[in-house]
Amino acid sequence: MTRVPTVYDVATHAGVSIATVSRVFRRPESVKDTTRERVLASVEALGYVPSGAARGLAARRTGVIGLFFPGLDALDVAAGAQLDEDAAEAASIVRDVGGSADTRAGDLYFDEVLRGSEVEAWRCGFVLMVGVGRGATAHDTLVDMAGRVDGLIVLAGSVPDAEIRHLARRLPVVVMAGQRHGDDLDHVSVSNAAGMRTLAGHLLDDLRVPSIAYVAGSEGSPDDAERWQGFREALADRGLPVPAAPDHRGEFTRDGGRRVGRAILAGEHLPRAVVCANDQMALGVIDAARIGGVDVPGELIVTGFDGIDAGRVSTPRLTTVTQPMEEVGRAAVQTLVRRLADPTRPAASVRLPVQVVLRESSEPV
């Protein structure tokens, strides 16, 4: 390996001080044009790359913000897989008849949020560091990230609230998803309860659905709790019996939705509609219905929540509550950047609107 050029090499090559080299990168307008051009020519000739870490030490900032997610659906499947660098060429056949063999397609919500976060971080001049952790690894990953970034965006429910509050004593933290409950942190969320209440109201009032099974996601998820609340409010507003607990839980995964769908089809009475707390579970229910010979929506209406792309191309296409997932990521980064610029500003609660989109899984053509 060749020696990496340093700022001292650039200064010597250009015949200037290291302070002048630093100003060229940090305050170029403060350096004469001829001097700046000479320094930049030396940078090009030597292949010098400014050290972000060094600049961060000087400014007491890293220029990096962190985004922490819980474990993704594919993590448990792919973790620890051995890669054979010397493997010969190989091909195999996977039979995928009657249902998807790919259990990893459920991470699309995180994909959209991540895309928005990346774009906004770049626009604001920050680098985005993404951390993923589940169970025992969540604490270690989060603590490690906290020591490397200027601020953190944490998905609500991914770690205990007490841990989030503890981290917030060290650096700015924005909580994504879920309303504020007795804390003074910045929050970014969507209108979960209103969206589910509106969707359920449409099923009850416009489609006259006589029976509904509700499929919840993961216990401890603030989004899940708000959507369940909205569903119960729709029933209560119409004087209908309000269940104390969801009929099923699918853990927000497509595989979980398939499992729930099989259980529903095996039950004594088929409900007229299945309302799922996210699209991935709803698509799993549709998978089970197709395999079981049950027509959607003729015999069984299925709805979701999120608005992932897979729901727009499914057969039938999925009726859902669409949330602005990319905008959630952008809003979280914007909120964190504002907090970094003004640590004393009042805590913000950003809540983004949702839309109920009616498609063929509830609307016969």
CB 283 within 8 A of CB 313: no
Domain match, 297 and 317 both: yes
In whole angstroms, what is the distance from residue 322 CA to residue 357 CA?
7
Does any domain span residue 35? Answer: yes
Q: Please report, in tens digits, the pLDDT of each residue of the chain (365 residues total).
A: 457 788 888 999 999 998 898 888 777 888 999 999 999 999 888 888 766 555 554 455 678 999 998 765 444 444 555 655 565 666 766 565 655 444 444 457 888 899 999 999 998 889 999 988 766 677 778 888 888 899 999 988 777 888 888 888 888 999 988 666 667 899 999 999 999 999 999 999 999 999 999 999 988 888 999 999 999 999 999 999 999 999 999 999 999 999 999 999 999 999 999 999 999 999 999 999 999 999 999 999 999 999 999 999 999 999 999 999 999 999 999 999 999 999 999 999 999 999 999 999 998 76
CATH number of the domain at 45, please.
Answer: 1.10.260.40
Does any domain span residue 140? Answer: yes
In whole angstroms, what is the distance from residue 301 CA to residue 43 CA?
64
Does any domain span residue 155? Answer: yes
Provide the strand spans (E) within the chain.
64-70, 127-133, 151-155, 173-176, 186-190, 212-216, 248-249, 273-276, 301-306, 319-322, 349-352, 355-357
Counting the structural domains of the chain, the total is: 3
Domain match, 159 and 303 both: no
Domain match, 340 and 300 both: no
In whole angstroms, what is the distance from residue 170 CA to residue 300 CA?
51
Domain match, 186 and 166 both: yes
pTM of the model: 0.76
Domain match, 143 and 288 both: no
Does any domain span residue 259? Answer: yes
Q: Which residues, 6+ apart, have CB-to-CB distance to 327 below 8 Å?
A: 116, 352
Domain match, 197 and 186 both: no
Closest CA to 279 of 196, 210, 344: 196
Domain match, 218 and 255 both: yes
CATH number of the domain at 278, please.
Answer: 3.40.50.2300
Does any domain span residue 96? Answer: no
Does any domain span residue 236? Answer: yes
Domain hosting 270: range is 192-323
Does any domain span residue 86? Answer: no
Cis status of the peptide bond prior to 316, with omega within 30 of 0:
yes
* The pLDDT value given to residue 29: 85
Domain match, 180 and 217 both: no
Domain match, 279 and 208 both: yes
Domain match, 17 and 140 both: no
Provide the strand spans (E) within 103-245.
127-133, 151-155, 173-176, 186-190, 212-216
Domain match, 253 and 207 both: yes
Domain match, 115 and 215 both: no
Does any domain span residue 359? Answer: no
Q: Tell me the sheet residues that pair with 187.
A: 175, 349
Task: DSSP for 251-272, please give it.
Answer: TTSHHHHHHHHHHHHHSSS--S
